[in-house]
């Protein structure tokens, strides 16, 4: 019973992180058809910005929005100055289907090495505003801390805010329309290019929040968020790459699978579980759980 | 204000889809461009609405140069385009599809008034506001597409084959609605159709397009009366 | 035999002879770099076949290299296979893994395949820690043997260079023939229009799986060659960044140019280390900068390449020539 509760709680907290990372990837993919591997690097650089803020102000609650802002800005720059021109330049030939993936790998490398030059590869600590120790109930200590609760509640708040924004605001409607049917949206007067940049910016902010949430309790280095990219991507693919709900579900499935296998089977399986879960789901649904409904022109 | 097209040519790579086209559409006229599949009708509209670039020539609506700027800017200058094949977004609700056309409008009161007008024009849409676009019938979708375009309060409306794939009865209804819109408002309409007879019947002016060239132009009644046109395009 | 085949074979022998000649006239560093370049040529070739021809993307070819490497080592350890046979087994093992994943992947498109192969690249090295027989983090040793006595006393690095460059030459020859064959044409036509290709009687799914299997097998060979030059195999030799480096190498000179593309890519990857080393000493760059300069340059190069010569410099040059000829105007949006 204790084991079951522990596994569920850990799974929930990990799942929340994966879900938010997945959401960041989904936001970019659905609006521009780009699988953005640079997301890990963008989140990492934003988290360093947050770390700089924390070391100066000693206030986590200023660092979080500061990092989100930095993430949004960085993403908007990448979209405007790299991805948008690339979409036009590499639209034909053998490179066309993979150009954006490849460019995003290049960006990831630049951010990795750039960050290592600026902040060195030495691990940086990022204090959590709340306790990172397990919660004691009765005589048992659960591997679930206030920091985990912070993660879960922040992710839930961010997700609900996104849902409200997309469903209830004009800008959200523009974003959805431009993602589904860019041409019709243009004809309706939506400034699709601008809206896409906003989509990237939101994604960058979400990624930054992921970084600032997970780093306390761990450490920060130029490579420390890379593995989250893999998990986030797997979660996004499980969910179908296009749907925010899919991202949330994918994150939860992955988080639970990981925590249950590591508690009930072996913690050595951490890297293999995502691959197996992904393969199993893709074998049944090659376009993820929520994906592949309608065919659309990009 | 009028639509002036002068020596317009448009290429798709090596294919010339529109060749040295010139015509004028006077304000408040309903003009039908008819021609077979591949005549270049869609290409013409897509060029005028800023979706694809022209190779040569001029096209203006009033003081606006239609060959410059993006589609989203043209809408703001009063040019709305209903593209071929029921141009609605299936994933959005009927209401969202309509709202989309007026998102850019600053004056929300006016936009609401337009919405009321559109829903009076198409009461069937009003009954289905919360339904997703892809749950509508073909005819309803076409109404939604036209409604969305009207939401932008256009002065020039470009319609690409609104009758495509619809049952004859529905086609008649749609054509009648288009005629009504043109009569009751300040709108100039450029209607592109393969259904030549239906389009010419409601149009003031007809333009016959063949392989990117104008082969006939004139009052639509004259075109309907012309034996050569009847034989080649009206099928009797 | 076809005359183009024969011409390629003759060229291959000539190049081999030239390499053999030079192997006795250069130092150990050059020989080592030569082996590394050969390894990259093979590995990049596997990407060019998969991505440049059949239009699929794999972020996991580093994982297939790892499979090849471990199969080679295990077959030497437990089956006592002579070392050139371990290469064959390595190819077969990796190809088999490619078959399994390829059958699953045939239903996956673009980003979904990227996701599956990325997860594989991350998953695979960690398997080494699960099974003691794989030697954990330390890995296992590999004996790359000695040159046959008929060559007399051959220095280790020279011998390693011979083997790797021979492997690279054979791979290029085979790949060249495959890519120019009807399979190569089928891949290209599927990539540009899979519906149209199906109509002409090509089985797109089967054809894609075949590309995946071949690509995995070739990557396996590259893994075996890498293990041979290192004399050992361990999970840390196959990080995710290896898979990414291969893609970089494949893109720099045009994703569908096997030759000289793969060679240029390999030389750039290897040469960059040397160049950065030289720059560091010349300009007395600090340690932190120096350590990361290479990745920065390689990544920046990747971005510039994909933006400015998306399909390789070859296409760019052709384009410019055509442009001048037709003097065409009007951009495409
Ligand atoms: N995107 C495109 N790429 C290449 N050729 C095109 C494209 N769109 C249309 N065409 C060609 O241009 C010509 C005119 O097409 P279109 O304007 O769609 O005609 P219509 O709408 O009258 O049927 C046709 O020959 C068609 O094949
Ligand atoms: Mg058409």
Check if B36 has its Cβ closer than 6 Å to any atom of ligand 1: no
Is A187–B96 a contact, with Cβ atoms under 8 angstroms apart?
A: no
Question: Looking at the CA of B19, which ligand is closest?
Answer: 1
Is B100–A192 a contact, with Cβ atoms under 8 angstroms apart?
A: no
Using CA atoms, how far apart are residues C202 and B61, in angstroms rounded to an integer?
A: 50
Task: Collect all residues of chain C within an 8 Å Cβ-Cβ radius of residue B55.
Answer: 329-330
What dotted CATH number matches B3-234? 3.40.50.300
Domains of chain C, residue spans: 2-239
The DSSP result for B53-118, as a single string, is --SEEEEEETTEETTSS-HHHHHHTTEEEE-TTT---TTSBHHHHHHHTTTT-S-HHHHHHHHHHH
Residue that the structure tokens 């290192």 belong to = C230
- Hey, is B146 helix, strand or coil? helix
Q: Let me know if residue A85 belongs to a domain.
A: yes
The answer to whether A143 and A6 have CB atoms below 8 angstroms apart is yes
The answer to whether B31 and B205 have CB atoms below 8 angstroms apart is yes
Check if B115 has its Cβ closer than 6 Å to any atom of ligand 1: no
Range of the domain at A221: 2-123+141-284
Check if B220 has its Cβ closer than 6 Å to any atom of ligand 1: no
Is A97–C296 a contact, with Cβ atoms under 8 angstroms apart?
A: no
Report the separation in Å between the CA atom of B17 and the middle of ligand 1, taken as the mean of its atom positions.
6
Mind listing the pLDDT tens digit for each residue in C235-279?
888 888 888 889 888 998 788 888 788 888 888 888 887 888 888
Task: Collect all residues of chain B within an 8 Å Cβ-Cβ radius of residue A176.
Answer: 91-92, 96
Q: Let me know if residue A191 belongs to a domain.
A: yes
Q: B81 pairs with which residues across the strands?
A: B158
| Among the partner residues A102, A121, A233, nearest to C118 by beta-carbon distance | A233
Q: Let me know if residue A97 belongs to a domain.
A: yes
Is A187–B49 a contact, with Cβ atoms under 8 angstroms apart?
A: yes
Q: Annotate A16-36 with b (16+ C-beta within 10 A) or e (fewer).
A: bbbbbbbbbbbbbbbbbbbbb
ipTM reported for the complex surpasses 0.90: yes
The closest residue, in CA terms, to atom 1 on ligand 1 is: B12
CB contact C291 to A (< 8 Å): yes
CB contact A170 to B (< 8 Å): yes
| Among the partner residues B76, B87, B99, nearest to A184 by beta-carbon distance | B87
CB contact C208 to A (< 8 Å): no
Residue that the structure tokens 């850990």 belong to = A10
Task: Collect all residues of chain B within an 8 Å Cβ-Cβ radius of residue C333.
Answer: 52-53
Q: What is the DSSP code (8-state) at residue B50? A: T
Check if B42 has its Cβ closer than 6 Å to any atom of ligand 1: yes
The answer to whether C93 and C68 have CB atoms below 8 angstroms apart is yes
Give the residue ranges of DSSP H helices in chain B: 41-48, 71-76, 94-100, 108-121, 123-126, 138-151, 168-184, 196-202, 220-225, 227-229
The answer to whether C143 and C228 have CB atoms below 8 angstroms apart is no
Using CA atoms, how far apart are residues A66 and A205, in angstroms rounded to an integer?
A: 10
Handedness of CA B124, B125, B127, B132 (dihedral sign): positive
Both tokens assigned to C160: 């390693």
The answer to whether C303 and C252 have CB atoms below 8 angstroms apart is no
Mind listing the pLDDT tens digit for each residue in B36-66?
999 999 999 999 999 999 999 999 999 999 9
Per-residue model confidence (pLDDT) at position B17: 94
Q: Which chains touch B (3 or more CB pairs under 8 A)?
A: A, C
Is B51–A187 a contact, with Cβ atoms under 8 angstroms apart?
A: yes
Residues of chain C with pLDDT under 50: 328-333
Torsion angle defined by CA atoms of residues A124, A128, A129 and A132, in that order, rounded to the nearest 10 degrees: -160
Q: Let me know if residue A168 belongs to a domain.
A: yes
Is B90–A180 a contact, with Cβ atoms under 8 angstroms apart?
A: yes
3-state secondary structure chain C: CCHHHHHHHHHHHHHHHHHHHHHCCCCHHHHHHHHHHHHHHHHHHHHHHHHHHCCCCCCCHHHHHHHHHHHHHHHHHHHCCCHHHHHHHHHHHHHHHHHHHHHHHCCCCHHHHHHHHHHHHHHHHHHHHHCHHHCCCCCEECCCCCCCHHHCCCCHHHHHHHHHHHHHHHHHHHHHHHHHCHHHHHHHHHHHCHHHHHHCCCCHHHHHHHHHHHHHHHHHHHHHHHHHHHCEECHHHCCHHHHHHHHHHHHHCCCCCCCCHHHHHHHHHHHHHHHHHHHHHHHCCCHHHHHHHHHHHHHHHHHHHHHHCCCCHHHHHHHHHHHHHHCCCCCCC
Question: Looking at the CA of B33, which ligand is closest?
Answer: 1
Residues of chain A with pLDDT under 70: 292-298
**Residue B216 pLDDT > 80, yes or no?**
yes
Report the separation in Å between the CA atom of C309 and the middle of ligand 1, taken as the mean of its atom positions.
29
How many other CB atoms are there within 10 angstroms of residue C205's CB atom? 15
Report the chain A residue with the minimal C-alpha distance to residue C52: A94
Check if B14 has its Cβ closer than 6 Å to any atom of ligand 1: no
Check if B5 has its Cβ closer than 6 Å to any atom of ligand 1: no
Report the Cα–Cα distance between both ends of chain A, in Å, rounded.
49
- Hey, is A181 helix, strand or coil? coil
CB contact C307 to A (< 8 Å): yes
Task: Collect all residues of chain C within an 8 Å Cβ-Cβ radius of residue B53.
Answer: 330-333
Is A275–C107 a contact, with Cβ atoms under 8 angstroms apart?
A: no
Per-residue model confidence (pLDDT) at position C332: 45
Using CA atoms, how far apart are residues A115 and A111, in angstroms rounded to an integer?
A: 6
CA angle (A44, A49, A51) in 5-degree steps: 90
Is C114–A272 a contact, with Cβ atoms under 8 angstroms apart?
A: no
| Among the partner residues A35, A86, A108, nearest to C306 by beta-carbon distance | A86
Using CA atoms, how far apart are residues C87 and C73, in angstroms rounded to an integer?
A: 9
CB contact C333 to B (< 8 Å): yes
Q: Let me know if residue A14 belongs to a domain.
A: yes
CATH for A9: 1.10.3470
CB contact C327 to B (< 8 Å): no
What is the enclosing helix (H) or strand (E) of B10?
Answer: strand B3-12
CB contact B89 to A (< 8 Å): yes
Radius of gyration of chain A, Cα coordinates, nearest whole angstrom: 19
3-state secondary structure A39-91: HHHHHHHHHHHHHHHHHHHCCHHHHHHHHHHHHHHHHHHHHHHHHHHHHHHCC
Report the separation in Å between the CA atom of B166 and the middle of ligand 1, taken as the mean of its atom positions.
22
Q: Let me know if residue A132 belongs to a domain.
A: no
Is C310–A93 a contact, with Cβ atoms under 8 angstroms apart?
A: yes
| Average pLDDT over every residue of B84-92 | 90
Report the chain A residue with the minimal C-alpha distance to residue B77: A189
Report the chain C residue with the minimal C-alpha distance to residue A227: C122
Task: Name which of C103, C92, C44 is nearest C68 in CA terms.
Answer: C92
Mind listing the pLDDT tens digit for each residue in A156-185?
999 999 999 999 999 999 999 999 999 999
Residue that the structure tokens 């979209």 belong to = A79
Domains of chain B, residue spans: 3-234
């Amino acid at each position: 019973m204790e084991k079951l509760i522990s596994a569920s709680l850990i799974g929930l907290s990990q799942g929340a992180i994966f879900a938010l990372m997945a959401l960041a990837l989904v936001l970019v993919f659905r609006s521009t058809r780009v699988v953005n591997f640079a997301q890990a690097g963008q989140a990492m650089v934003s988290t360093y910005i947050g770390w700089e803020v924390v070391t100066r102000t000693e206030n986590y609650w200023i660092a979080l929005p500061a990092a989100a802002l930095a993430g949004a800005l960085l993403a908007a720059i990448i979209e405007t100055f790299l991805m948008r021109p690339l979409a036009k330049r590499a639209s034909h030939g053998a490179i066309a289907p993979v150009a954006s993936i490849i460019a995003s790998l290049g960006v990831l490398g630049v951010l990795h090495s750039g960050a290592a030059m600026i902040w060195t590869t030495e691990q940086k600590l990022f204090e959590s505003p709340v306790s990172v120790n397990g919660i004691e109930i009765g005589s048992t200590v659960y591997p679930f801390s206030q920091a985990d609760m912070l993660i879960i509640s922040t992710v839930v708040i961010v997700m609900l805010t996104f849902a409200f924004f997309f469903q209830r605001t004009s800008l959200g409607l523009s974003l959805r329309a431009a993602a589904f049917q860019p041409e019709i949206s243009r004809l309706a007067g939506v400034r699709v290019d601008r809206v896409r940049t906003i989509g990237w910016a939101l994604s960058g902010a979400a990624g930054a929040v992921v970084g600032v949430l997970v780093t306390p309790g761990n450490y920060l280095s130029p490579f420390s968020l890379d593995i989250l990219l893999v998990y986030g991507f797997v979660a996004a693919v499980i969910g179908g790459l296009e749907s925010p709900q899919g991202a949330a579900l994918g994150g939860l499935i992955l988080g639970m699978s990981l925590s249950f296998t590591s508690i009930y089977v072996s913690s050595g399986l951490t890297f293999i579980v995502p691959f197996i879960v992904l393969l199993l789901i893709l074998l049944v649904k090659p376009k993820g759980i929520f994906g592949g409904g309608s065919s659309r022109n990009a | 204000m009028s639509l002036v097209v002068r020596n317009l040519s448009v290429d798709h790579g090596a294919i010339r889809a529109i060749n040295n086209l010139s015509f004028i559409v006077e304000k408040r006229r309903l003009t039908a461009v008819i021609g077979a599949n591949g005549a270049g009708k869609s290409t013409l509209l897509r060029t005028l609405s800023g979706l694809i670039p022209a190779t040569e020539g001029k096209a203006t609506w009033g003081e606006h140069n239609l060959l410059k700027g993006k589609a989203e800017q043209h809408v703001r200058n009063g040019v709305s385009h209903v593209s071929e094949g029921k141009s609605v977004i299936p994933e959005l609700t009927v209401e969202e599809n309509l709202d989309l056309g007026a998102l850019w409008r600053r004056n929300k009161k006016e936009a609401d008034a337009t919405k009321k007008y559109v829903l009076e024009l198409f009461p069937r849409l009003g009954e289905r506001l919360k339904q997703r676009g892809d749950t509508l019938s073909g005819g309803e979708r076409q109404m939604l597409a036209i409604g969305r375009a009207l939401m932008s309060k256009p002065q020039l409306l470009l319609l690409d084959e609104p009758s495509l794939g619809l049952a004859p009865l529905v086609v008649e209804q749609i054509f009648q609605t288009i005629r009504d819109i043109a009569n009751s408002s300040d709108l100039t309409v450029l209607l592109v159709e393969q259904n030549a007879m239906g389009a010419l019947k409601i149009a003031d002016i007809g333009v016959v397009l063949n392989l990117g060239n104008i082969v006939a132009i004139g009052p639509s009644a004259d075109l309907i009366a012309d034996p050569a046109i009847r034989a080649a395009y009206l099928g009797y | 035999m076809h005359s183009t085949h024969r011409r390629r074979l003759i060229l291959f022998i000539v190049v081999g002879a030239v390499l053999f000649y030079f192997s006795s006239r250069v130092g150990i560093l050059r020989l080592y770099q030569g082996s590394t370049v050969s390894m990259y040529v093979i590995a990049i070739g596997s990407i060019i076949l998969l991505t440049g021809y059949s239009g699929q993307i794999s972020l996991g070819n580093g994982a297939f290299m790892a499979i090849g490497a471990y199969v080679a080592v295990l077959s030497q350890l437990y089956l006592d296979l002579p070392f050139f046979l371990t290469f064959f087994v390595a190819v077969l093992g990796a190809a088999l893994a490619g078959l399994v994943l390829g059958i699953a992947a045939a239903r996956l498109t673009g980003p979904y395949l990227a996701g599956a192969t990325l997860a594989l690249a991350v998953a695979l090295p960690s398997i080494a820690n699960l099974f003691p027989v794989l030697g954990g983090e330390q890995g296992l040793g590999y004996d790359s043997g000695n040159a046959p006595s008929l060559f007399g006393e051959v220095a280790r690095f020279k011998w390693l260079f011979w083997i790797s460059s021979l492997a690279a030459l054979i791979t290029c020859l085979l790949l060249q023939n495959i890519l120019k064959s009807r399979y190569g044409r089928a891949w290209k036509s599927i990539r540009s229009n899979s519906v149209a290709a199906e109509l002409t009687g090509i089985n797109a799914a089967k054809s894609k799986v075949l590309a995946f299997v071949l690509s995995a097998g070739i990557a396996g060979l590259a893994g075996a060659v890498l293990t041979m030059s290192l004399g050992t195999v361990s999970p840390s030799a196959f990080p995710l960044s290896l898979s990414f480096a291969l893609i970089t190498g494949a893109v720099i000179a045009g994703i569908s140019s096997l030759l000289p593309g793969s060679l240029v890519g390999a030389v750039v990857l290897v040469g960059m280390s040397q160049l950065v080393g030289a720059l560091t000493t010349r300009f007395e760059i600090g340690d932190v900068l120096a350590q990361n300069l290479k990745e920065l340059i390689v990544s920046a190069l990747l971005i510039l390449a994909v933006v400015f010569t998306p399909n390789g410099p070859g296409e760019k040059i052709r384009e410019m020539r055509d442009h001048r000829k037709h003097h065409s105007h009007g951009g495409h949006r």
